[in-house]
Amino acid sequence: MHKNTDTRIINSNKSIKLAIAAGCLSIILGMITIGLFVSLAAPAMAEWAYPAAVDITWSKNESRGDRLAFSVPKLNLVIGANPKPTQAEATIAQLPVYDPEVASQIEPKQDFYTKHALHSPDGIGKFYLGREIAKVMGHTEAVWLERPSRQWQEDPDAVIAALHLKPTDVVADIGAGTGYFSFRLSQQLTQGKVYAVDIQPEMIDILRFLKTENAIDNVETVLSDPQDPHLPSQSIDLALMVDAYHEFAYPHEMMQGIVKALKSGGRVVLVEYRRENPFIAIKTLHKMTQRQAKQEMAAVGLSWLETDESLPSQHIMIFQKPMQELEQETSSTEVK
């Protein structure tokens, strides 16, 4: 009898132990399953079931103001209370509509250029759209601009012919130097005129001297600055830059000024040594590829019209100010 009782007690102890072990095992397995679900399946389900996951934030910040926000990032929705608006928010709230002039005061001025310490000895270490800007040719080299060999090297008569000018046209020769092109242009513009523009006062002195010496009255000299051609708005039919554009220290600003000075549909002509050809014996930074020139002119809203390749070593690249401006001007005049 005793023996049977002992056996039953031993058996029931074993069962209890087994039950406890099974319970522990199922708890562990359950926890692993929950863990796996939470880490793997739940986020995926939440993503699927709750695309509009909610985010509640409370921030206390002196400069930004206290903020309680209830946001639904997926829906780009924020419902929040901000008892103390920031100064920027207060300013923006007072602005009636988007005004580019006000925006230009608030938004930082865009810098179009990058500077690199490692650069060509012929450049200024400043790059525009990947091109290093060349050093300006000083006035002490003015005589070189008048060298007789230029006649066959650059064929200036072919350049003038490629412009297809009307006698009444007004042309700006920008980076005019000694006026090698300004005075040739003036002969074509019997009823028009030439603005001979340069940043070096010494070049302007030379231009004035030659103008008086040759009694030329349709060339007007303009001393400009590196960021502004100083030309009247919508006054020119064509802007010519021969071997000059690659030296502009602020090409973007200069071109914006030139575009402003152009009449609607007016043209910009760049004459530059072909950089695509390594055998043209001119310093690399004093040459330009067509691709680069097109990129830089497009940056100021000019459209490429054509490239004349009739010169021995230079591109004659012709661009145009959009004609839409003409329609806009006409309609704004009509409103007035």
Ligand X SMILES: C[S@@+](CC[C@H](N)C(=O)[O-])C[C@H]1O[C@@H](n2cnc3c(N)ncnc32)[C@H](O)[C@@H]1O
CA dihedral 37, 40, 46, 52 (to 10 degrees): 150
For residue 330, what are its two tokens? Answer: 């006409």
The answer to whether residues 178 and 213 touch, using CB atoms and an 8 Å cutoff, is no
Applying CB under 6 A, the span of 33-41, 56-64, 69-77, 240-248 interacting with ligand X comes to: 240-248
Neighbours of 164 (CB within 10 A): 10
Q: Which helix H or strand E contains 272, and what residues bound it?
A: strand 262-274
* Residue 159 found at the interface with ligand X (CB under 6 A): no
* Residue 145 found at the interface with ligand X (CB under 6 A): yes
The answer to whether residues 321 and 259 touch, using CB atoms and an 8 Å cutoff, is yes
Tell me which residue has tokens 């004659």.
Answer: 316
What is the per-residue DSSP string for 39-98? IIIHHHHHHHH-TT--EEEEE--TTT--EEEEEEGGGTEEEEE-SS--HHHHHHHH--S-
Measured between alpha carbons, how far is 300 from 250 in angstroms, rounded to an integer? Answer: 13
* Residue 136 found at the interface with ligand X (CB under 6 A): yes
Q: How far is the CB of 188 from ligand X (least distance, A)?
A: 16
- Is the Cβ of residue 67 or residue 222 nearer to ligand X in the bound state? 222
Among 186, 221, 224, 320, binds ligand X (CB under 6 A): 224
* Residue 238 found at the interface with ligand X (CB under 6 A): no
Among 242, 269, 302, 317, binds ligand X (CB under 6 A): 242
* Residue 65 found at the interface with ligand X (CB under 6 A): no
Nearest to 274 by CA among 258, 261, 262, 286: 286
Q: How far is the CB of 224 from ligand X (least distance, A)?
A: 5
From the CA atom positions of the chain, what is the Rg in Å?
Answer: 37
Distance separating the N- and C-terminal Cα atoms of the chain = 122
Applying CB under 6 A, the span of 44-52, 192-200, 307-315, 322-330 interacting with ligand X comes to: 192-200
- Is the Cβ of residue 102 or residue 129 nearer to ligand X in the bound state? 129
Q: Which SS3 state, helix, strand or coil, does residue 275 take?
A: coil
Applying CB under 6 A, the span of 18-26, 30-38, 159-167, 171-179 interacting with ligand X comes to: 171-179
Q: Total binding residues for ligand X by CB under 6 A?
A: 22
* Residue 132 found at the interface with ligand X (CB under 6 A): no
Nearest to 134 by CA among 227, 294, 249, 282: 249
Among 180, 183, 195, 273, binds ligand X (CB under 6 A): 180
265 φ, ψ to 5°? 80, 0
Going from the C-alpha of 145 to that of each of 149, 173, 183, the distances in angstroms are 10, 14, 13
Q: How far is the CB of 109 from ligand X (least distance, A)?
A: 19
Among 155, 226, 280, 325, binds ligand X (CB under 6 A): 226
Applying CB under 6 A, the span of 17-25, 121-129, 162-170, 193-201 interacting with ligand X comes to: 193-201
* Residue 200 found at the interface with ligand X (CB under 6 A): yes
Q: How far is the CB of 96 from ligand X (least distance, A)?
A: 38
The answer to whether residues 229 and 197 touch, using CB atoms and an 8 Å cutoff, is yes
* Residue 243 found at the interface with ligand X (CB under 6 A): yes
Q: How far is the CB of 191 from ligand X (least distance, A)?
A: 24
The answer to whether residues 307 and 316 touch, using CB atoms and an 8 Å cutoff, is yes
Applying CB under 6 A, the span of 30-38, 120-128, 199-207, 287-295 interacting with ligand X comes to: 199-207
Q: What residue type is 288 in one-letter code?
A: M
Q: How far is the CB of 136 from ligand X (least distance, A)?
A: 5
* Residue 270 found at the interface with ligand X (CB under 6 A): no
Q: How far is the CB of 271 from ligand X (least distance, A)?
A: 8
Chain residues in the site for ligand X (CB under 6 A): 136-137, 145, 174-177, 180-181, 197-200, 203, 224, 226, 242-244, 247-248, 254
